[in-house]
Every structure is written in C-alpha cells, then in structure tokens.
Amino acid sequence: MTTEVREVRRVRALFISDVHLGMRQARASQLIDFLRWHEADVMYLVGDIVDGWRLAKTWHWPDEYNALVELLLAKARAGTRMVVLPGNHDEFLREYLGTYFGEIEFVDRTVHTTALGKTYLVIHGDQFDVVVEHAKWLAHVGDWAYRSALRINSVVNWVRRRLGLTYWSLSAWAKHKVKNAVSVIGRFEEALSLEARDSGVDGVICGHIHYADMHERLGIHYVNTGDWVESCTAIAETQEGLLELISWSEPPPPRKSRRAARRPATEPGQ
C-alpha cells in the first residue's frame, strides 16, 4: 500500500482576507491547514482578520486562534514579508498605519507587482462601501443579519452531513439569487475597478463582501479573496506570475483503525 506524499507549495504571494477571528463560525483550523501547505515570499492580510465588532460584545478566542497567530508570526520571522491592510471589523488597527511591528507592516492600501509586471491595487474595500462609510449603524444591522444566516446555515448543514451531503451556504445562495444583493456586489465591483483605473494599475485585489471572484468584465482585472467563514478561499500568485483562486476544503477527520480499536489496553507481558 502506497501513501501519497503531499508537498508544500511555494508561491510568490498569498492574499487572505475576512477570517473574522472572534466570530464562532470562523474557520481558523482550515486556514491553519492551508498555511501549513503554502509558503509565500509575501503575504497580504487584506482586512477583517480579527473581528473587533464581535470581540467587543462577546469574547471568543479559542486556542486555535493563538495557533494561527503563532503560525503567521513564525512565517514572518522565517522571511515572509507580511503586510496587514485593516478592514472595517479590525479598524482599530488603522491607528498603526504606516508603522512596523517587527516583521509586520500596516498599510491602508498598497500596490503589488506580479512576476509578469502586472500591477494590482490591494485594499480591503470597505472604503468604497457606502453603507459602511455613511451609515455604520446599518452596517451593524447587516452584520447581525449575516450572523443569523450563519446560525441557520449551521443547522441546515448539520442535517446535510447526516444525509451524507456536502456543505451548502445560505448566504452564498442568497448573493447569487437575490436581485438586490447581486446589485450591491456589482456596484462594489464597479467602485473598486474605477479606483484601480484611476490609480493607473492593471487590477485590484480586495475582500470585504465575502464573495470570491475573478473577472475582467469592467476592463480591469477584479479579484476578490472571499473569506474564511464560509468559502475558505485565498488568492495566490504563482511563480509564473499568474493569479489563481484557491478554495481550501476542510481536511477529513482522521480514520480510526479497527485493529487499533480492538487492541487491549495492556499488551501481553506488560
């Protein structure tokens, strides 16, 4: 019997956003698994890595969050350039824009240049969300509605797992089907694409709306990293300079050996 050997993948850059540490639905263990199998010259944490809104109301910080932070710091110490671009949920970090903490740099926006010479504006994106900018109370209502959808989703997917079905996202379905949600996404993409065009770059890499996508419908290469609450997606730049969207599925639980299960607690002769 042969066992497939998994190799760590080396890429030029990784873009990760919307982990929302502090939200109980954050998939930190999946992100840890993803990062263990990926190394990058530079890693961009594109906002909402920590959910300050949730932590201010209810403190939730399990050990796996510490493990994730330690893994990121270890990568930075090992030579990965680490760039943090705060979002609206971790806006408290914007007090440190333009500063360094050890190997970690805090910026509001930056430009990434690929191996092919293509330039991309990197920014969280909440700066172009009218609701966040001008009606923060409404943004909090939207946050409550999103968390309610996630709670419903957890029940639905518990039933689906019992039936042997795959994970299904209520909020992703709504974004695809509800006309107003699709319109909001479209306006967000237009605003970011226009900002990229005005900045004289070839594309934009952002987060914020939890909707992973890559397209050039607006004449600019629009790239959204998605999130690590539901979709578990990231953007990677390959060594050849190409951007790709990676969806990281949950690692399967370890298989128990029937032989080990029948083995007595004490071996003969001990």
Looking up tokens 């809104």 gives: 53
Which pLDDT belongs to residue 129? 74
Which pLDDT belongs to residue 110? 98
Q: Which two tokens stand for residue 29?
A: 């263990």
Please spell the DSSP secondary structure of 121-141, one letter per residue: EEE-SGGG-HHHHH-HHHHHH
Enter the CATH code of domain 9-250.
3.60.21.10
Positions of the chain with pLDDT under 70 = 1-5, 130-161, 165-183, 250-270
Which pLDDT belongs to residue 257? 40
Q: What is the pLDDT of residues 172-222, one digit of tens each?
A: 555 555 444 556 788 899 999 999 999 999 999 999 999 999 999 999 999
Dihedrals phi, psi of 144, to nearest 5 degrees: -65, -45
Which pLDDT belongs to residue 151? 58
Which pLDDT belongs to residue 86? 96
Which pLDDT belongs to residue 147? 53
Q: What torsion do the CA atoms of 54, 60, 64, 65 make, to the nearest 10 degrees?
A: 40
Dihedrals phi, psi of 16, to nearest 5 degrees: -135, 135
What are the domain boundaries of the chain? 9-250
